[in-house]
Amino acid sequence: MIKNAGELSLKEWKNSFGNRSYTLTNLKDFPEQNPKLRLYAHVRVEPGEEVEYHVHHNECEYYYILSGKGLYRDNEREMTVSAGAVTMTPS
């Protein structure tokens, strides 16, 4: 099955202050989904926006940086990431 990006569900997330934080396109938005895959998405974070600190239990999280650069925080470590970087935060 193939879908165009415009056919996938798009969600705008807001930070705790009610401002737009980032947009997420659900890349697993198909009727026959693998129940073991909770989230596979394209996340767009514009300058000044952020993915707020959050915790995942019993799952890890990966980000592949397509363009630009930003600040990445993994627990207490903070580093700059840019296009081509892949991050992984274990559970």
pTM: 0.70
Q: pLDDT of 70-80, one tens digit each?
A: 999 887 889 99
Contact (CB, 8 A) for 22 and 51: yes
Element (H, E) at 72: strand 69-74
Q: pLDDT of 5-60, one tens digit each?
A: 788 888 887 877 777 778 888 887 777 777 777 778 888 888 888 888 888 788 88
**CB count, 10 Å around CB of 24?**
18
